[in-house]
């Protein structure tokens, strides 16, 4: 469990800055919403800056997605990731570009 505990030495728990900077594969980072207290926008933007071959893109939903998914889970039993299929077109386009590279 220690790998999941945030600390000041790692941007993302379990991923050192040196490891992030050495990661040379094409990477797509979806920008977090301003309202998301768990996955901060600053973290997603900084991660895209640190990863050498990253592209930062907007997700296919509004800023409150994480909060709305939490509410839908509590009120209607919907999954937190129920709308993740909306990511597929962006992921497919990015994968097509990355493979052609």
Mean pLDDT value of segment 7-23: 88
Neighbours of 33 (CB within 10 A): 21
Residue 101 has pLDDT above 80, yes or no: no
Q: Using 50, 70 and 90 to split pLDDT, how confident is the model at 2?
A: low
For the chain, what are the domain ranges? Answer: 2-100
pTM of the model: 0.85
Neighbours of 89 (CB within 10 A): 10
Residues 20-74 pLDDT 10s: 999 999 999 999 999 988 888 999 999 999 999 999 999 999 999 988 998 999 9
Residue 60 pLDDT? 96
CB contact at 8 A, 43 and 6:
no
CB contact at 8 A, 65 and 56:
no
């Amino acid at each position: 469990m220690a790998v999941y505990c945030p600390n000041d030495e790692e941007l993302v728990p379990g991923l050192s800055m040196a490891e992030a900077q050495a990661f040379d594969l094409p990477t797509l980072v979806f920008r977090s919403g301003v309202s998301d207290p768990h996955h901060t926008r600053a973290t997603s933007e900084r991660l895209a800056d640190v990863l050498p071959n990253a592209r930062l893109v907007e997700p296919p939903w509004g800023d409150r997605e994480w909060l709305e998914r939490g509410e839908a889970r509590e009120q209607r039993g919907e999954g937190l990731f129920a709308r993740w299929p909306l990511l597929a077109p962006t992921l497919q386009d990015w994968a097509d570009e990355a493979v052609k590279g």
